[in-house]
Structure 1
Amino acid sequence: MSDPAVAVSPTSESELPDKRQVAASFSRAAASYDAVAELQRAVGNALIERLSAGLCPTRWVDLGSGTGYFSRVLANRFPQADGVALDIAEGMLRHARPKGGATSFVAGDAERLPLR
């Protein structure tokens, strides 16, 4: 008998969530996602604050860009740079595009980047 309190790590890819289902779920949640993303904002803002003040990139990529909140933050911080917002959920990108931020919005998997 196994102890339910002991976490078991997945042993194969078949035990991981289906990425198509994950993408569909996030796509459906796009319109309401920002209202409940407090933890994501706190972590992201803490990471943004750690960027070097002298950093001056020509290009940035927002992996898992979601609704584009941090794409807009990055675009404001680095207005001279081209930005790429990449997310597995096309619904998130459809929600983000009209709000701007990135130069390009790309649907794709961060584990298999569709970028040169």
Structure 2
Amino acid sequence: MKSVSGAVHSLDHSASGRPGFEVSVAGLLGLTCQSCGAAFDLAVDSASIIHVARDTAELASWEDETFESIEATEKTSALELVEDELLLSIPYVPRCPKCAADDTPRTHEFS
């Protein structure tokens, strides 16, 4: 990692009626292109809203909703929320700008 910062801010739940957090990460990551092997920097700027249920029953009642939610526990950590947000912002198969612009399918033979 070159330079990344993260933050967790409490939401004003009077608007949605549900307590929660906004989790954000921003910065520059040093990655390796999975196509050509070159090192490149990826700018990351991501934010998510996570609603927090008081208990398992409340969380279950939100099952059909379309927002991210977790159950509040003493083990819920702001650092873990930021780490998760960062991991979710990294592409599964990182590609440098040159390879990402090349739409040619890549096939490799192994012996």
TM-score tier after normalising by the smaller chain length: under 0.3
Q: Quick check: which one's strand share is greater?
A: 2
The TM-score normalised by the length of structure 2 is 0.27
Larger radius of gyration: 2
The TM-score normalised by the length of structure 1 is 0.26
